[in-house]
Amino acid sequence: MSRLSSVPEWVCPPLRAVANIELFLLAEYRRTQAPQALGSWVSLSWLGAAAGERTPGPLGEGLPSKAAAWSSMLVADALAEGEPYPPPGWWAVHEIAPEDRLTPGAWELRAGDSYVRHYMHGVVVTLGWLLGELTDPRLMAPFFDGAARRIPVAELELCRARLLVLSASPHPVATG
């Protein structure tokens, strides 16, 4: 059973869908070591923070607030695309506080690592789904395993189908 017993009010999908998918993606990560599955799972498990508790999130430690989810999604999107370090104005426009910004060196390390970029893709699609910006949970299905091998199409399609079922289920579903 998922450790999620509630989700913040800003989360668009229902608790049961989030909890089911959290468990499924953890199992998918254990099976494939896919960085995208890890990024998605970390984004979902972050929601389990107790009130006022700081917990590891997809890009660092903090409360799972709507503002933190948006800023994490925007940063993760730029990193997933391998974009260069943003100018100061970019951070300001997106209302990302100086203490929440990556350093240029930390940015370069992340943007230059394909494993991390795939992880960031998982963060982007999952936070987008939680925020209601993306409505298709199948986008959380990982394309590459932990050894950077493409996941076979049949496995990918099965994962996508399972994510769709889990997102619509009003009851706990076995994820194994």
Digit-coded pLDDT (tens) for 28-52: 999 999 999 999 999 999 998 765 5
Give the burial class of 123: count Cβ atoms within 10 A of its Cβ; 0-12 exposed, 13-18 middle, 19 or more buried. buried
SS3 of 31, please?
helix
Residue type, 142: P
Which tokens in the block code for residue 62? 């903090």
- 138: pLDDT confidence band, cut at 50, 70 and 90? very high
